Amino acid sequence: MGRPVDPLSPYRVSIHRNGNYNYASTQINRFNSETGQKEHKRIHWGRLTEENKFIPGNEFISASQEIRSKLIFPKEWDLSEIEIYCKNNCSNENNELKFVFEFQNYLYGDIWLLEMVAKKTGVYDDLMSVFLNDKEKVNKILTLAYFLFSGYKNYNHTSNWQKIVKTPCQSILLPYDITRFTQKITQSDRFNFFKLRTERMKDREICSVDSTSRSAYGHCLPDIKFGNNKEKLPLPQTLEVVVYTLSGHEPIYFRTFQGNAPDSRTLDIILYELDSAGYKDPILITDRGYESTKNLEKYIEGNKKAIICSKIGQKHIKEFIKSFNDYSYYPREMALDTKTGLYYIQKKIEYKFTDSNGNVINAENLKLNLYFNPIKRCEELLDLDIDLNNQAESLDYLKSNAINIDDESALDKEFPLYIVKYNKFTILEKYEEKNHQKNKYIDKLNNLISTKEAIQDKSELEKDYVDYNLTFKSITIITEFERNEKKYNDKILCSGFFATTMVNLNIGPLEAYNHYLLRDEQEKYFHMMKGVMNSNRQRSSSQAGKDGRLFILFVAQIIGCYIDQIRKTKLTKYHSISSILEEMRSIRYIKHPNFPAKISPFVSKQLEICEAFEFDIPEGCAPESPPRDQNRG
């Protein structure tokens, strides 16, 4: 029987000689399930001098206080360097490490701008309320949020970035620390932050609901599933839903769904959580992915206000279009908007349904807005004819060459404008001799294979050739095809039209159209997330860590959206958020232990940016007024 395992063994520090150096190390033994063998891993916590003095190394410095406290050093070792290091470099009684330099010269301008925006938008105050005035925790969140604007790919570079940039958090943020910190941000923190942001919203806020897919390299999270990846990559994904206020120009809500969830199935949870977070009476705008009968009834039953982009092929919309008199250019029943060049009309929809309690509910305020674009109709009809001819050429090639069709349903989806008819039959593919005995009919078998002649009765052929194993194959070829008149006429009927459905709103079709156009802002929001902030991939390995990182990303997006709104309205010569931050980045924060800190001067375009944001320039950084010439006439 072997010796019992010492539970403290992984924490006992011993000498590991490597070359001419003595290292203070611990050894971890683990079992590799793939190889079936034990593996030994050594961790070097620092170096040991000739006098047995322990000098802390990077592993010891980057480890948390919890891990450092578990290490068991030999009694004869001199550990005075640990006490000296912690005294000079730790920020608090928990021995949290800081960067400490006698002379500090950091890049600061972009961080200063982000800090000012965080305060102006109320993000800083809301975070302080959520985290009970824990300034250190809030500074960590803001530092990680600002890092997303830095251009680095991921949080592995945070500590190096902090060496050259003055950040709100003075502690060293190593990957291990960031992982542990983000895992401590809870769903309660997320909801409490939503509630505080709700109080800053105006009445009758217009909000857009949309989702985007984020590809993932692993399979370790429950939400990572294979779905319709918008990047067309063979990677699993998560579905990230965001509610964006088009009135306030910022995101107000986010949530993750599994990657294979259709948009229409997620709306129920979104509405439930918006109500729970306190968002009162917003006007929700959704695209066609969220349209379904169940969701429409959910809006009506909950007295929600919404503008829904509707699929033009629905029966009641096609019947409405058919009701127009014959027209050669545009339906005479529709009015023209000279600014947009659109024809429009509004119609009230009669709709009744029975709720879960058996009550009959009548939709009192349900309207259809129908729009017609004659230029778009011409383009769609041209595309229809081109598509029709291309499909006919491909089908004719398959038919004339008698190419075998493996999947009929897939072919029908590929050529939806035609009705295809098939001929199915069986042919002899190959044969094998059973007892190496020659059969006088072998030439016929070869002829059947070469000509691919249809086999009417497989059993009869097998009786004639009992000395052979015969292998048959099913063949499907196209015999004829004709245009699908119903689909073709429907496309001609609906070309140039698009529609929205309004629930519980008393506005005109043009106002509804202008509201819907604002969804372009949300598309740019997703572009910011996947572009400027390098968050187009899922890199978390735990659900808690993923939730925490999404919270930090959400905070960064609020700040980024405010900067982008100022850019579009007052700083139009800047093509992106990054270009504004790059212009500010060269401003320095300079400090010496014996002198007060100073910020380098704001010059040229940096002054214009501050003026656009209406931010006061720090004292001593603004340009002086030119001196007046007292002798000037």
pLDDT in tens, 515-531: 998 888 888 888 888 88
In this prediction the pTM is 0.74
Q: Which residue from 169, 193, 194 is spatially nearest to 181, judged by alpha carbons?
A: 169
Which pLDDT band holds residue 285 (cuts at 50, 70, 90)?
very high
- List, in sequence order, every beta strand (DSSP E) within 322-467: 335-337, 342-348, 352-354, 360-362, 366-372, 418-433
State which of 166-175, 445-454, 544-553 shows the largest mean pLDDT.
544-553
What H or E segment, with its residue span, contains residue 274? Answer: helix 267-277
Q: Can you tell me whether residue 516 is helix, strand or coil?
A: helix
Distances (CA, A) of 69 to 73, 136, 281, 406, 503: 10, 22, 53, 66, 61
Within 121-157, where are the H helices?
Answer: 123-130, 135-147
b/e for 353-363, b at 16 or more Cβ within 10 A? eeeeeeeeeeb
Cα–Cα distance, 107 to 584 (Å, whole number): 9
CB atoms within 10 A of CB 328: 4
**Worst-scoring range by mean pLDDT, 179-183, 373-377, 541-545?**
541-545
Which pLDDT band holds residue 555 (cuts at 50, 70, 90)?
very high
Distances (CA, A) of 359 to 120, 298, 353, 585: 48, 14, 8, 62
Within 58-174, where are the H helices?
Answer: 58-62, 65-70, 80-89, 109-120, 123-130, 135-147, 158-162
- The two three-digit tokens of residue 115, written as one number: 């800090």
Where is pLDDT greater, at 137 or 440? Answer: 137
* pLDDT(371) > 60: yes
What H or E segment, with its residue span, contains residue 592? Answer: strand 588-592
Query: What's the pLDDT at 96?
Result: 53
What H or E segment, with its residue span, contains residue 26? Answer: strand 21-32
Q: Which residue from 81, 66, 65 is spatially nearest to 24, judged by alpha carbons?
A: 81
Cα–Cα distance, 237 to 231 (Å, whole number): 10
Query: What's the pLDDT at 68?
Result: 83
Is 197:126 a contact under the CB 8 Å cutoff?
A: yes
pLDDT in tens, 196-250: 998 888 777 889 999 988 888 777 888 888 887 777 778 888 899 999 998 888 9
**Worst-scoring range by mean pLDDT, 74-83, 199-208, 285-294, 427-436?**
427-436
Q: Average pLDDT of the chain?
A: 86
Average pLDDT (118-134) is 95
Which pLDDT band holds residue 317 (cuts at 50, 70, 90)?
very high
* pLDDT(92) > 90: no
Strand-pair partners of 400: none
Query: What's the pLDDT at 100?
Result: 45
- The two three-digit tokens of residue 459, written as one number: 């059993």
* pLDDT(88) > 70: no
Average pLDDT (438-460) is 72
Query: What's the pLDDT at 33?
Result: 58
Average pLDDT (316-320) is 93
Which pLDDT band holds residue 632 (cuts at 50, 70, 90)?
very low
Please report how many Cα atoms fall inside a 13 Å half-sphere around the Cα of residue 83, on the Cβ side: 4
- The two three-digit tokens of residue 322, written as one number: 């058919």
Cα–Cα distance, 522 to 513 (Å, whole number): 16
Cα–Cα distance, 278 to 197 (Å, whole number): 9
- The two three-digit tokens of residue 77, written as one number: 């070792």
List of residues 6+ apart from 165 with CB closer than 8 A = 106, 107, 108, 111, 150
* Domain boundaries, given as residue ranges, for the chain: 9-89, 384-488
Q: Which residue from 451, 406, 407 is spatially nearest to 429, judged by alpha carbons?
A: 451
Residue type, 16: H
Which pLDDT band holds residue 99 (cuts at 50, 70, 90)?
very low
Which pLDDT band holds residue 348 (cuts at 50, 70, 90)?
very high
Cα–Cα distance, 509 to 345 (Å, whole number): 7
* pLDDT(29) > 80: no
